[in-house]
Structures are given as C-alpha cells and as structure tokens.
Amino acid sequence: MKGLLYTLLLLETFVFIAQQKVDGGLDNNEISQQLSSGDRRQNPPQTNTLRDEASTDSQQYCHLSFSDIHAALRELTVTVTEQKANIRALETQLKEQQTFFLEELNKKSDEISNLTRSQVEELRKENRDREIAFSASLMQSNSGYVGPFTTDITLTYRNVFTNIGNAYNPITVAHNLFGLTGCSDTEKEQIYGTDGEVAFHSDFIRKKGLLTLPDFADFVNPSSYDGVYELSVSNLVICRNFLDRQIKAYNGSDETTEPPHISIYSKDDVNVGVENDLICHVTGFFPPPVIISWTKNSVNVTEFMNGQYRPNHDSTFNIFSHLKITPKEGDIYSCTVRHKAILGQTQTKTWEFSKLFQPFHSDGVNKELRSHV
C-alpha cells in the first residue's frame, strides 16, 4: 500500500515538472522569489508602521522648529533695525565731525594765508628799493638837497618851503615854493610852483613833465626837473593806496568851504573883427572843483578850454578858463561859476564890447548886470 502511495506521489511530481517545462516553467530565481514571497506572506514586514512612526516624529520636530525659527527671525529683525539706527547715527556724527574739521582747517588755512601775506608784505617793504615820495632842491646846484623820503602817507603840501632866493637870483629875495599831489578815482594831479605860479606840471596823458613858466624865466634850469615826472608817478601810487583810508578818516567831518571870486578880461587889446581870447579867472575857492560855463548873447557856448587847478598861498585854488572870440559891436559874453560854497547858486561875470566905450565887466549872483561905465 505504501509503495503504491510513493509511486503515485512520484508520478504526480514528474507530471508537474513536465508541465512546467512545457509552459516555459519557472527558473530557479522565480522559484526562489515565490518562496520568498511566501515567506513574506507568512511574516509580513513592519515597514509601514515604522514609516508612520517616523512621519509623526518628523511632523512634531518640524512643528517645533518652525516656531523657533519665527522667534529667531523676529529677534534678528529687531537687531538689524537697531544696527541700522546706530549706523545712521554714526554717519550723522561722522558728517558733523567732517564739517567741523573742514571749517577748522579753512580757518587755519586763512590765518596762515593772511599771516603769510602780511609777512611777505613786510619783507617786501623792508627789501624794496627806496621809493621817492617827494624831494626838493632848494639851494644852488650841488649845495644842498632835501630828500628823497620814503613814506606810505600821501603827501599834499603847500607853502612848505621858504627859499631865501639864492636858487633863482643872487639878490636875496623871499620866495614861496609849493607842490601839490592830488588823486581820485578818475583824476590825478601833480604840480610844483613858486609864488603862486605853476613852474612844472606832470602830463599823465603824454607821460612826461612840462615846464609851464614863460620863456623869459631863464633863471630856471630845466635840468633841475629831471626825474620829477617819475616822482609824480610814485606819488600817485601812494596817493591812491591811501585814498580809501583818507575818505573814511574824514567822512562826516565838517568841511571848510570858500566861495569863488571871478574876473573876466581879454588877453589882448580888443578890435572889431579881430580874433582874441577872453579869460575868466576863478580864484579863492575851496575845495575844488568848480563848474564853469560861458554864454554869448545869452546863448550857451562850448568852445572854451579850462586850465588846471592851481593852489594859492592861502591853501585855496584858482583856475583859468579861455574862450576864443571875434568881437562885434554889442556882443555880450558871460562866465558863470557853480561851487558848493555858494549853496547851489551861481556867480556870473559879464563882458560887453562897444566901439564907443571900453569893454564893460559886471559882477552878479544868479543874474547878469549889463550897463556901461
């Protein structure tokens, strides 16, 4: 019986194996996989459970980490804001310090610059060549000399020297020698003279000195005025350097004024139809200037020429005005002067020509008087 059972079992096994071979069967690997699969079915793995447990732990961990990160970010934001405020404060402080240092540096630079300029100017004054402010030779040639003088003060001098006369004439005679330096923003003047007459005048337009004495004054040696024009140029430089200072010094002070006096006369004897010169002499006024105008038969004329201001011995001034005329019967000429001492009024001198009478001269203030002597 047992033999029959073993035989049937072997036969069944043989049939199964044959059938697998016919169908392609299973290779050893597949058999192994099936066996393994069977084992897994009998003993299922614990992978899903572990995965769920890990996921739960991860979620708990992430939940805790996100709250901590938010808190840290808030703290970091506060810190960054504070640092930005500190940086802005430091930048403001730095700019203020830079501004302060720049201002101090500029002050120091200005002080050094001013000090340097002052030192340079002092050294320049000490080392410069001696500049002649004025000089005068009062004695005979090679017998005496006054000057030169170096000064930073504008020199305006009148009636300064009294010469005993041996520079002009062997006979002892007293003479008054004067010099005048004047300047403004637009004008300049330098003259020398004696006894109220101008002997030398500096012509700054033609850049030379001119002797203004008449030809008969042969006692004056022209060479004695050599270099005087250059002296005049130096005087003007000094005068202009101190012009503003003098204006400030005398600003507001009471100014002494003297009114002008007028005389009018012809240069030569007057004849009808013969050209001549009318001269209007204005003198005794202070300070200059005066305004001079001419009329012919009550009509203004402009063809006249004014001379230069000349100092008088009493520190007032005088000036000559010349008008060319060709007189006719009944012509009336007048010279009118305006000056600050007569408070906006005018002074007028009239000259009238007549063949029957000598020329008539009249004085007037704001009027013209015409009559015959």
Say if residue 104 is in the same domain as residue 186.
no
pLDDT at residue 333, rounded to an integer: 95
pLDDT at residue 168, rounded to an integer: 46
Number of domains in the chain: 3
Say if residue 359 is in the same domain as residue 287.
yes
pLDDT at residue 164, rounded to an integer: 39
Say if residue 266 is in the same domain as residue 329.
yes
Say if residue 282 is in the same domain as residue 197.
no
Say if residue 229 is in the same domain as residue 182.
yes
Give the span between the Cα atoms of 249 and 231, in whole angstroms.
Answer: 26
Q: Is residue 227 part of a domain?
A: yes
Q: Is residue 133 part of a domain?
A: no
Q: What is the mean pLDDT of residues 300-322?
A: 88
pLDDT at residue 277, rounded to an integer: 92
Q: Which of 40-54, 107-121, 229-243, 321-335 has the lowest mean pLDDT?
A: 40-54
Q: Which one of 113, 128, 143 terminates a domain?
A: 128
pTM assigned to the model? 0.45
- Interior CA angle at 55 toward 52 and 57, to 5°? 110
For residue 239, the domain's CATH number is 3.10.320.10
pLDDT at residue 82, rounded to an integer: 87
Say if residue 218 is in the same domain as residue 269.
no
Reference 192, options 166, 164, 155; nearest CA is 155
Q: What is the mean pLDDT of residues 39-55?
A: 51
For residue 287, the domain's CATH number is 2.60.40.10
Say if residue 123 is in the same domain as residue 176.
no
Q: Which one of 250, 271, 297 terminates a domain?
A: 250
Q: Which of 53-67, 168-182, 247-261, 316-330 has the lowest mean pLDDT?
A: 53-67
Say if residue 213 is in the same domain as residue 300.
no
Q: Which of 9-13, 190-194, 276-280, 360-364 has the lowest mean pLDDT?
A: 360-364
Q: What is the mean pLDDT of residues 65-70?
A: 71
Report whether pLDDT(233) > 70: yes
More confident residue, 34 or 52: 52
When pLDDT is cut at 50, 70 and 90, the band that residue 13 belongs to is low
Q: Is residue 120 part of a domain?
A: yes
More confident residue, 25 or 347: 347
pLDDT at residue 144, rounded to an integer: 38
pLDDT > 90: percent of the chain: 17
Say if residue 351 is in the same domain as residue 288.
yes
Say if residue 270 is in the same domain as residue 246.
no
Token output for 53: 């447990």
Q: Is residue 277 part of a domain?
A: yes
Q: Is residue 34 part of a domain?
A: no
Query: Domain of 167?
Result: 157-250
When pLDDT is cut at 50, 70 and 90, the band that residue 291 belongs to is very high
pLDDT at residue 208, rounded to an integer: 86
Q: Is residue 373 part of a domain?
A: no
More confident residue, 342 or 359: 342
Report whether pLDDT(128) > 60: no
pLDDT tens digits for range 72-101: 788 888 888 888 888 988 999 888 988 888
pLDDT at residue 58, rounded to an integer: 52
Q: Dihedral sign, CA of 97, 99, 103, 108?
A: positive
pLDDT tens digits for range 130-154: 443 433 333 333 433 334 444 443 3
Q: Please, what is the angle between helix 243-250 and helix 228-241, to 10°?
A: 50
pLDDT at residue 252, rounded to an integer: 61
pLDDT tens digits for range 154-166: 344 344 444 434 4
Written in H, E and C, the secondary structure of the chain is CHHHHHHHHHHHHHHHHHHHHHCCCCCHHHHHHHHHHHHHHHCCCCHHHHHHHHHHHHHHHHHHHHHHHHHHHHHHHHHHHHHHHHHHHHHHHHHHHHHHHHHHHHHHHHHHHHHHHHHHHHHHHHHCCCCCCCCECCCCCCCCCECCCCCCCCCCEEEEEEECCCCCCCCCCCEEEEEEEEECCCCEEEEEEECCEEEEEEECCCCEEEECCCCCCCCCCHHHHCCHHHHHHHHHHHHHHCHHHHHHHHCCCCCCCECCEEEEEECCCCCCCCCEEEEEEEEEEECCCCEEEEEECCEEECCEEECCCEECCCCCEEEEEEEEECCCCCCEEEEEEECHHHCCCEEEEEEECCCCCCCEEEEEECCCCCCCC
User: Hey, which of 6-15, 142-151, 293-302 has the most confident mean pLDDT?
Assistant: 293-302
CB neighbours (10 Å) of residue 348? Answer: 20
pLDDT > 70: percent of the chain: 57
pLDDT at residue 285, rounded to an integer: 93
pLDDT tens digits for range 235-287: 888 888 887 777 777 776 667 889 999 999 998 888 888 999 999 999 999 98
Q: Is residue 256 part of a domain?
A: no
pLDDT at residue 280, rounded to an integer: 96
More confident residue, 182 or 337: 337
pLDDT at residue 161, rounded to an integer: 42
Say if residue 113 is in the same domain as residue 180.
no
Q: Is residue 113 part of a domain?
A: yes
Say if residue 115 is in the same domain as residue 183.
no
Mean residue pLDDT across the chain: 70
